[in-house]
Chains A and B, each alone.
Chain A
Amino acid sequence: MNNPSCLRPLDILLAEDNLDHAELMLETLGDFNPKNRIIHKANGEEIMRHLDQTLQQREPLPDLILMDIKMPRMSGIETLTAIKQNDALKHIPVVMVTTSSNEQEVSVCFRSGASSYVTKPLSYNEFVEKVVSLNGYWGYTSKTPHQSS
């Protein structure tokens, strides 16, 4: 955990409307592995647009999508559903991020196809630990599903 260099750097797509939170997450994730490539989008629409472009230009898809649940225009759950309904995108693991850990919200996330769930912590150390463990899972499995296919 404290030795992130053993992990493969990741392409992470971040959806977060709160720019402060986005900045914190970007920095935290960058701290933990400077080679991580993180793209930030402010809402679901932008995420979908970005993914469409990536597909059109045949660029590599992100390894992981971190997504806030509460976003304007297109909420996290809507975006998640859209991703999971798209055959070209549905293999990408999506981790939902939220401020409150409401049980109902959590179950909705998993029913809609989320891979995991993270509560926005007050201390970003917790957050880093969570992402590290997640990243560890995807990193140590050496390949994300779309790379193996």
Chain B
Amino acid sequence: MALRYVSYFCGCLALIAVVYYSARGFGTINRHLSALEYLSEHQMRLSVGLANTSAALLAEPDQAMHAAENLTELLAPTRPSSATLQTDGNFAELLRQKQRLQERLPIPQGLPPKDNAQVLQQFREGLEILSSHNQQLREHQKQAIMRALSRLFLVDGILLLLAMGCIGIPLSQQQRSLLKSAQQSNRALEEKAAALHDSHRTIGNMLQDMVGERRKASLTSEANARLAALIDSADDAILSLNLAGYIVTANNAALSTFGAYCKGKRFIDLFSGATAEQLAEMMARTEQHNSGTTMNVVLERNQQQLTFALTLSPLRSEQGGLIGFSVIAKDITRSQKEQERFRLAVEAAPNAMIMVSRSGQIVLFNTEAQRMFGYSAEELNGKSIHQLVPIELRHAHHSHVEQFFRSPVRRAMGREQNELKGRRKSGECFAIEVGLTPVESDNQFYVISSIVDISGRKIQQAKLNALNEELMRKNQEMEQFIYTVSHDLKAPLVTIAGFATRLRNTPDIVFPDKQIHQIDRILVNVKAMETLLQDLLHLSRIIKRDLEKSWVNAQEAIDKVLNTLEGHIADTGAEITIESSLADIYAQESLLLQCLQNLLSNALKYTQPGKKPRVCITSVVEAQASGFRIKDQGVGIAPQHQERVFNVFERLNPQTCEGTGVGLSIVKAIMEKHSGRVSMSSTEGVGTEFVLLFPYPPQNEVSDE
């Protein structure tokens, strides 16, 4: 271990050394390279100098001079950089020699070539020596670079190898050892898994064996305890009996129900008389048929009658042999009472009530239901509700029942406008109305349907509708008749009046006064006839047209009518007294005015001879109705005529008074149109009193009008 770390350490050291040595080596190479560069540049200048000198030797004197000037410039000493000088001592020495040689060079003067040739020659030789010297220096530098490079590679190579050796070898060794150990542990795990699998299978087999041997006993002891606690804490009494019917175990509820010392007793002995016999029979049956049975028993406890639902089931061993019985006794006293109360409520209902389960089975019904459908209680109990539906509707009824249970909400049946029908036992079908109410009992949905036989009502309604239609038709015919009559009767009148007028106004003939009078009588009668027809037409229009009711100020209405009667009042000198605060009237104003107009003009008209008319108007208010009382002190109406005054064209004394006899008919028609009331009381020779009453709707509805 330690050896490995030492090895790693050495490797790292070697790596650091590589870096250090490389850095140094590259520095050295760099210096040599710059020296070489310097030398190369110098070499170039020397070559140029040589070329120029040769040219100066051959050329014309002025050119040679020019060349010589360039030479001095060319060879102006340049100093190598200090880094270059540091390459090695040998190189510096050589450089210095070169410098000295250069300084000793004869400088050619600006003389003609023949005088200067020697100097130039010498200069040229000097340059050649310098050049060769320089060449040597460059060779030297190149060799130095090569040396430095090879040394660098050698040393770096050795160091890198060393580092790889130091780090790589121990690493690979460690890897291999790790791999080996992983393989080993894997193999061990597989072995263990196989062992576990084996043991699992063994345990599974064991468990299966145990289940097979003892199904219930296979529960762990904890689960057993829990089950025991559960049974003990159950509200229902739970007992187990052996084959002979003796109580073997009992839970707490059983102990409190059948007595603390019931264990070890015969279960049947806990009951008396008929109940015990029934129980014995039940046990025998259970033994034979191998299925649980339930019966209700009554037990007396602390002077209370308690009802229990006993469920007796066989207990069997693994091999299937009967080993005893289990008894579950549920106290249903309260629910039975509730059921009884419910039954009584259903029974007391005035309608036929039928409770139906989800499957359409009748579970409860009252006597009225039996009577309505003509079945006995035994026939109805447990039967399908569809039996009470006409055969042709049964299919649809099925789906309706299903639909209802899918979304059970209280509703009236037969919303779809199609009439509902029931079917009596005799097969007779009859119209019904059904209300459905969903109820939940024992976590199950039921529906209570309340059924009303409406066949009688239907027949009555049909009759009424027929009558109504007949009446409407008659009414329409009547209106049409009145309209046509009044229209067609007017046409000849127009002719009569027209020709009579023309005759009377014939320009060329002057009639004697008597004939003029006769023609005038024709015209007056035609006019009277026209008024009659107009009144008749008016009456028919009142009956025909729709009402537009609103609240009318009674005082204003009376004022309007009195205005139109102003002339009449002034002529007769009538006294009219009006109550100061009159109640508003809910009516169509124009028709209300018409009523007042007719009654008031009557009151002014039928006066006792020599007496001024006196009329008194007061308010009448009743529940949901308001109106007037109009009382006069006129001629009055004899009792035998009073019934007829409202008839059309009825006039009691046509000779004395003008008028068509339609006025009171119109009043009556208007009041009937308003669903109101007009009444009259009169004493002959004393006066007549009319009371008009217009109904009004409840306040909240009035605002909508």
B527 within 8 A of A: yes
Q: Name the prevailing secondary structure of the B interface residues.
A: helix
**In the complex the two chains form, what is the Cα distance from A148 to B541 in whole Å?**
44
- Total contacts A-B at CB 8 Å: 49
Contact flag A122-B494 (CB < 8 Å), given A20-B499, A24-B502, A99-B487? yes
A123 touching B501 by the CB < 8 A rule?
Answer: yes
Q: How far is the CB of A1 from chain B (nearest CB, A)?
A: 16
Contact flag A122-B487 (CB < 8 Å), given A24-B495, A100-B537? no
Q: Using C-beta atoms within 8 Å of the partner chain, give the interface range for chain B.
A: 10 to 19
**In the complex the two chains form, what is the Cα distance from A120 to B530 in whole Å?**
12
B526 within 8 A of A: yes
CB-defined contacts of B495 to chain A, threshold 8 Å: 18, 20-21, 24
A122 touching B527 by the CB < 8 A rule?
Answer: yes
B498 within 8 A of A: yes
A90 within 8 A of B: no
B487 touching A21 by the CB < 8 A rule?
Answer: no
Binary contact readout B474-517 vs A (1 if CB under 8 angstroms, 0 otherwise): 00000000000011001101110111011000000000000000
A50 within 8 A of B: no
A100 touching B494 by the CB < 8 A rule?
Answer: no
B491 touching A18 by the CB < 8 A rule?
Answer: yes
Q: How far is the CB of B163 from chain A (nearest CB, A)?
A: 118
B498 touching A20 by the CB < 8 A rule?
Answer: yes
A124 touching B537 by the CB < 8 A rule?
Answer: no
CB-defined contacts of B523 to chain A, threshold 8 Å: 122-123
Q: Which of chain B's residues 263-315 have a Cβ closer than 8 Å to chain A?
A: none
Contact flag A24-B490 (CB < 8 Å), given A100-B537, A122-B530? no
B487 touching A100 by the CB < 8 A rule?
Answer: yes
A125 within 8 A of B: yes
B494 touching A99 by the CB < 8 A rule?
Answer: yes
CB-defined contacts of B487 to chain A, threshold 8 Å: 70, 99-100
A4 within 8 A of B: no
CB-CB nearest in chain A for B497: A122
Most buried by A among B493, B494, B501, B537: B494
- Contact with B499, one of A24, A70, A99, A125 (Cβ below 8 angstroms): A24
CB-CB nearest in chain A for B537: A100
CB-defined contacts of B490 to chain A, threshold 8 Å: 99-100, 120
Q: Which of chain A's residues 36-85 have a Cβ closer than 8 Å to chain B?
A: 70
CB-defined contacts of A100 to chain B, threshold 8 Å: 486-487, 490, 537
A129 within 8 A of B: no
CB-defined contacts of B498 to chain A, threshold 8 Å: 20-21, 24, 28, 122-124
Q: How far is the CB of B444 from chain A (nearest CB, A)?
A: 66
A124 touching B491 by the CB < 8 A rule?
Answer: no
Q: How far is the CB of B69 from chain A (nearest CB, A)?
A: 123
A121 touching B494 by the CB < 8 A rule?
Answer: yes
Contact flag A122-B493 (CB < 8 Å), given A100-B486, A100-B537? yes
CB-defined contacts of A24 to chain B, threshold 8 Å: 494-495, 498-499, 502
**In the complex the two chains form, what is the Cα distance from A25 to B527 in whole Å?**
19
Most buried by A among B486, B491, B498: B498
CB-defined contacts of A122 to chain B, threshold 8 Å: 493-494, 497-498, 523, 526-527, 530
Binary contact readout A107-120 vs B (1 if CB under 8 angstroms, 0 otherwise): 00000000000001
Q: How far is the CB of B84 from chain A (nearest CB, A)?
A: 121
Q: How far is the CB of B367 from chain A (nearest CB, A)?
A: 61
Q: Which of chain A's residues 4-32 have a Cβ closer than 8 Å to chain B?
A: 18, 20-21, 24, 27-28
Contact flag A21-B494 (CB < 8 Å), given A122-B527, A122-B530? yes
Q: Which of chain B's residues 511-567 have a Cβ closer than 8 Å to chain A?
A: 523, 526-527, 530, 537, 541
CB-defined contacts of B486 to chain A, threshold 8 Å: 100
**In the complex the two chains form, what is the Cα distance from A28 to B677 in whole Å?**
49
CB-CB nearest in chain A for B507: A31
Q: How far is the CB of B619 from chain A (nearest CB, A)?
A: 33
**In the complex the two chains form, what is the Cα distance from A123 to B503 in whole Å?**
12
CB-defined contacts of B541 to chain A, threshold 8 Å: 102
Q: How far is the CB of B470 from chain A (nearest CB, A)?
A: 26
Most buried by B among A18, A24, A28, A122: A122
**In the complex the two chains form, what is the Cα distance from A120 to B486 in whole Å?**
14
CB-defined contacts of A21 to chain B, threshold 8 Å: 491, 494-495, 498
CB-defined contacts of A102 to chain B, threshold 8 Å: 537, 541
**In the complex the two chains form, what is the Cα distance from A124 to B491 in whole Å?**
13
CB-defined contacts of A99 to chain B, threshold 8 Å: 487, 490-491, 494
**In the complex the two chains form, what is the Cα distance from A125 to B497 in whole Å?**
11
**In the complex the two chains form, what is the Cα distance from A102 to B349 in whole Å?**
59
Q: How far is the CB of B433 from chain A (nearest CB, A)?
A: 43
A123 touching B497 by the CB < 8 A rule?
Answer: yes
CB-defined contacts of B499 to chain A, threshold 8 Å: 20, 24
CB-defined contacts of A124 to chain B, threshold 8 Å: 497-498, 501-502
CB-defined contacts of A20 to chain B, threshold 8 Å: 495, 498-499
**In the complex the two chains form, what is the Cα distance from A18 to B487 in whole Å?**
13
A120 touching B494 by the CB < 8 A rule?
Answer: yes
**In the complex the two chains form, what is the Cα distance from A124 to B498 in whole Å?**
6
CB-defined contacts of A125 to chain B, threshold 8 Å: 501
**In the complex the two chains form, what is the Cα distance from A116 to B174 in whole Å?**
126
Interface residues of B (CB under 8 A from A): 486-487, 490-491, 493-495, 497-499, 501-502, 523, 526-527, 530, 537, 541
Q: Identify the 3 closest CB pairs spanning chains A and B, nearest first.
A: A122-B497, A24-B498, A20-B495
Interface residues of A (CB under 8 A from B): 18, 20-21, 24, 27-28, 70, 99-100, 102, 120-125
Question: What are 22 A-B interface contacts by the 8 Å CB criterion?
Answer: A18-B491, A21-B491, A24-B495, A24-B499, A24-B502, A27-B502, A99-B487, A99-B491, A99-B494, A100-B490, A100-B537, A102-B537, A102-B541, A122-B493, A122-B494, A122-B498, A122-B526, A123-B497, A123-B498, A123-B501, A123-B523, A124-B497
Extra contacts, 10 of them, besides A20-B495, A20-B499, A21-B491 (Cβ < 8 A), are A18-B495, A21-B494, A21-B495, A70-B487, A100-B487, A102-B537, A120-B490, A120-B494, A122-B494, A124-B502
